[in-house]
Amino acid sequence: MKKSALQIARASYQPKLPKALKGQVSIKEGTPTESVADQAEIKKLFPNTYGMPVISFEPSNESKNYPAVTAGVILSGGQAPGGHNVIAGLFDGLKAINKNSKLYGFLLGPAGLIEHNYIELTSDIIDEYRNTGGFDIIGSGRTKLETVEQFDKGLEIIKQLGIQALVIIGGDDSNTNACVLAEYYKKINAGVQVIGCPKTIDGDLKNEMIETSFGFDTACKVYSEVIGNIQRDCNSAKKYWHFIKLMGRSASHIALECALQTQPNICIISEEVEEKNMSLDNVVTYIADIVAARAAEGNNFGTVLIPEGLIEFIPAMKKLIAELNDFLAKNGNEFAMIKKSEQRNYIINHLSPENSAIYASLPEGVARQLSLDRDPHGNVQVSLIETEKLLSEMVGKKLAEMKSEGKYTGKFAAQHHFFGYEGRCAAPSNFDADYCYSLGYTASALIAEGKTGYMSSVRNTTKPAEEWIAGGVPVTMMMNMERRHGEMKPVIQKALVKLDDAPFKYFASQRETWAKNTCYVYPGPIQYFGPTEVCDQPTITLVLEAQGK
Q: Determine what percent of the chain is predicted with pLDDT higher than 90.
A: 85
Residue 385 has a pLDDT of 84
* CATH architecture for segment(s) 67-215+428-484: 3-Layer(aba) Sandwich (3.40)
Residue 66 has a pLDDT of 92
Residue numbers annotated as active site: 202
Residue 388 has a pLDDT of 95
- Mean pLDDT in residue range 236-251: 94
Residue 496 has a pLDDT of 96
- Are the C-beta atoms of residues 263 and 520 closer than 8 Å to each other? yes
Alpha carbon distance 193, 164 (integer Å): 6
Distance of CA 46 to the CA centre of its chain: 26
Alpha carbon distance 480, 489 (integer Å): 8
For 495-514, the pLDDT digits (tens) are 999 999 999 999 999 999 99
Residue 1 has a pLDDT of 67
- Judged by average pLDDT, the poorest of 3-7, 168-172, 444-448, 481-485 is 481-485
Residue 329 has a pLDDT of 81
Alpha carbon distance 359, 340 (integer Å): 16
- Mean pLDDT in residue range 334-345: 86
For 73-95, the pLDDT digits (tens) are 999 999 999 999 999 999 999 99
- Mean pLDDT in residue range 485-495: 87
- Biggest alpha carbon–alpha carbon distance for the chain: 81
Pairing of strands 302-307, 241-246: parallel
Phi/psi for 119 (5° steps) reads: -140, 155
- Are the C-beta atoms of residues 94 and 69 closer than 8 Å to each other? yes
Question: To 10 degrees, what angle do helices 148-161 and 172-187 make?
Answer: 70
Whole-number average pLDDT of the chain: 94
- Are the C-beta atoms of residues 81 and 427 closer than 8 Å to each other? yes
Question: Is residue 387 pLDDT above 80, yes or no?
Answer: yes
Identity of residue 320: L
Q: Where are the domains of the chain?
A: 67-215+428-484, 220-424+502-548
Choose among 339, 347, 338: nearest CA to 366.
347
Alpha carbon distance 243, 273 (integer Å): 18
Question: Is residue 374 pLDDT above 70, yes or no?
Answer: no
Map residue 186 onto helix, strand or coil. Answer: helix
Identity of residue 178: A
Residue 375 has a pLDDT of 61
- Are the C-beta atoms of residues 414 and 398 closer than 8 Å to each other? no
3-state secondary structure string, 102-170? EEEEECCCHHHHHCCCEEECCHHHHHHHCCCCCCCCCCCECCCCCCHHHHHHHHHHHHHHCCCEEEEEE
Residue 16 has a pLDDT of 97
- Torsion of Cα atoms, 433 then 435 then 437 then 442, to 10°: 180
Q: Do domains 67-215+428-484 and 220-424+502-548 have the same CATH topology?
A: yes
DSSP letters spanning 280-322: HHHHHHHHHHHHHHHHHTT---EEEEEETTHHHHSHHHHHHHH
Domain 220-424+502-548 belongs in CATH node 3.40.50.1220: no
Alpha carbon distance 149, 61 (integer Å): 45
Question: To 10 degrees, what angle do helices 353-361 and 280-296 make?
Answer: 40
Question: Is residue 377 pLDDT above 60, yes or no?
Answer: no
Residue 379 has a pLDDT of 66
Question: Is residue 522 pLDDT above 70, yes or no?
Answer: yes
Q: Kindly state the DSSP code that residue 488 receives in the 8-state scheme.
A: E
Higher confidence at residue 385 or residue 178? 178
- Mean pLDDT in residue range 107-128: 98
Choose among 131, 27, 141: nearest CA to 89.
131
Choose among 426, 424, 358, 423: nearest CA to 394.
358
For 393-424, the pLDDT digits (tens) are 999 999 999 999 999 999 999 999 999 999 99
Alpha carbon distance 290, 149 (integer Å): 56
